Structure 1
């Protein structure tokens, strides 16, 4: 696995993660690495992790980073209360991790069954604001399984999660490794700001159309021009730009969108925001999506 080299000027290593609950060689987890230099975000490179074990190993490497991860960090309070699960985030995640995916699906189906059409799922406050799928959804996309696969590994690795886990973000982790800090991200939030409702990706070859290719070109161009409210400009090489545009699945581009959100979070912290841009009034059971 390639290592990120020293960061010029002492800038922090930033990470954007396009996550998968069932990674494979054909559909790996994609990690975009970079750094923030003023208003510019330099993409250093991409790493692809083909298993959850590889992801867990990546998390415990002895280097400090600030990352934005495309997976939910919490469940809707309404769901947790209805199921009678623990109402403290750490206890809730411990209980959730103890369940199998089949058990999760069974309990969530039972929750949804008596509810009216159009209101089957419970939503977190941040999901409604960001326009993301409810974090209890187990299909299309299976974000509930993404939470189940990702958050316990972040916890096990000793990663600091502002607003959710305990710890001093300026201090080394309890396991002695350099400070590693994770924030929940949603690439669709930034993509929609630049593209509206235009689709830019698909895993299905039949849907990898010229229109989606043009949308990816426009999205990368918008990021380079700094047209979003994040106030940041993406800096990539010609080869990196071509690679992002050519990836019809959009996985690499989603990782870069998360990288931009990580850079925004770092900027918020530099300006004195204690939670890296997360809302101070966030529900500490549900969590919050960065920049929502």
Structure 2
């Protein structure tokens, strides 16, 4: 078998050349994670083709892998993950928006969205949210391609054990390092010196191993400049997901997932 690779994926539900899906490839040697390269995919078809390539790899993907159980039960959708995802994939984005908006409209202010069990702990957006950010559409775009490619989704769906996909969330690690300071924006007018400094602080902390993951990121000077200079934060987010994948791989067979993981909702690795 070829050497195991680690990959972090910053996903976009509507990738373009300007806003591609970003992959950060690396390898781990003990607590040291070396960034090898950044790869960019500007179509969903290219992403699907990449997923089908032979492994072995373990990846952390910044995309929700499941919906809140409360939402699924309320809508009367299938409660088994594979069947639920098949139903979800059969809907258009307009149908998803209509169903989720109706769910929210029937609920009180302050409790509009349903959450997965770990959302508040991770600080992640509800996976049913269709705007700012549109994570519901990210799930709709990515998960069918993961299933079609036959990758292994631990705790949710068995597949090829040489290609392991785990749900990651870069904000979980970023907040540990810079708290609520913003470090990225796709809006050029908001790509401020303060956000640049926050990205530098994150990269410094990752290189020094100052996170609870116990890992130290190894970068070349050019890679460091790339992560800091990418004001969208996409490259840095992919690297944060790479480190979460490295942490999961170091946990052994269980990938650090909890024993009581909900097989409908999934789990964010390292949460």
Same fold (TM over 0.5): yes
Match of 1:241 among 193, 214, 224: 224
Instruction: Work out the CA distance in 2 between the residues paired with 1:255 and 1:62.
Output: 21
Q: What is the 5 A alignment of 1:121-160? A: 121-160=113-152
Count of residue correspondences: 271
Structure 2: stretches of 5+ with no match in the other structure: none
Q: Specify the alignment match of 1:276 in structure 2.
A: 255
Aligned to 2:167: 184
Tell whether the 8 Å contact from 1:21 to 1:150 is kept in structure 2 after alignment: yes
Q: CA RMSD in A?
A: 1.1
- Match among 20, 27, 37 for residue 45 of structure 1: 37
- Give the deviation of 1:126 after TM superposition: 1.4
Q: Name the residue aligned to 1:287.
A: 266
Which of 173, 184, 187 is residue 204 of structure 1 equivalent to? 187
TM-score by length of 1: 0.91
Separation of aligned partners in 2, 1:258 and 1:234? 12
Cα distance between partner residues in 1 of 2:162 and 2:33: 21
Shift of 1:166: 2.6
Shift of 1:55: 0.2
User: 1:129: how far off?
Assistant: 1.1
Cα displacement (A) at 1:215: 0.5
1:125-148 Cα deviation digits (max 9, x unpaired)? 111210100000000000000000
Structure 2 residue matching 1:189: 3-state secondary structure:
helix
- What is the Cα deviation at residue 275 of structure 1? 2.5
| Corresponding position of 1:217 | 200
- Superposition misfits of 4+ residues, deviation over 6 angstroms: none
Deviation at 1:179, TM superposition (A): 1.5
Per-residue CA distance 1:171-204 (angstroms, 9 max, x = gap): xx3xxxx720000000000000011111100000
What residue is the counterpart of 2:237 in the other structure?
254
- Are 2:246 and 1:263 aligned? yes
CA distance in structure 1 between the aligned counterparts of 2:49 and 2:57, rounded to whole angstroms: 15
Distance 1:229 1:160 in 2: 26
Q: Which whole-Å CA distance do the structure 2 matches of 1:149 and 1:275 have between them?
A: 27
Verify: 1:92 aligned to 2:45, yes or no. no
**1:232 matched residue in structure 2:** 215
Contact kept in structure 2, 1:163 and 1:275, CA below 8 Å: no
Unpaired segments ≥5 residues, structure 1: 1-5, 168-172
Question: Is residue 108 from structure 1 mapped to residue 100 from structure 2 by the alignment?
Answer: yes
